């Protein structure tokens, strides 16, 4: 999670905005302990949209 790379004050403020039942401790590998049990964390998708200029210049 990128927030962990930012200063501790910001991390605490953002964590307060999440509902208590969504918060979870991290395992020794730095991942959420429940990451494999939550579909939004282990089966999510991302859509990247490239501009026409990017597609034209990538050839």
Q: Which of 51, 31, 50 is nearest to 41 (CA)?
A: 31
The pLDDT score that the predictor gives to residue 33 is: 95
**In whole angstroms, what is the distance from residue 13 CA to residue 28 CA?**
23
Determine the structural domain holding residue 16 and report its residue range.
Answer: 2-57
More confident position, 28 or 5: 28
The pLDDT score that the predictor gives to residue 7 is: 53
How many domains does the chain fold into? 1
The pLDDT score that the predictor gives to residue 58 is: 64
Which pTM was predicted?
A: 0.44
Q: What is the DSSP letter of 37?
A: T
- Using one digit for the tens of pLDDT, what is the confidence trace for 7-56? 555 555 555 567 778 889 999 999 999 999 998 888 888 888 989 888 88
Q: Distance from first CA to last CA of the chain, Å, rounded?
A: 33
């Amino acid at each position: 999670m990128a927030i962990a790379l930012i200063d501790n004050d910001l991390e605490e403020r953002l964590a307060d905005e999440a509902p208590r039942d969504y918060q979870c401790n991290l395992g020794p590998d730095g991942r959420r302990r429940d990451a494999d049990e939550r579909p939004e964390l282990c089966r999510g998708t991302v859509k990247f949209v490239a501009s026409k200029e990017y597609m034209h210049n990538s050839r």
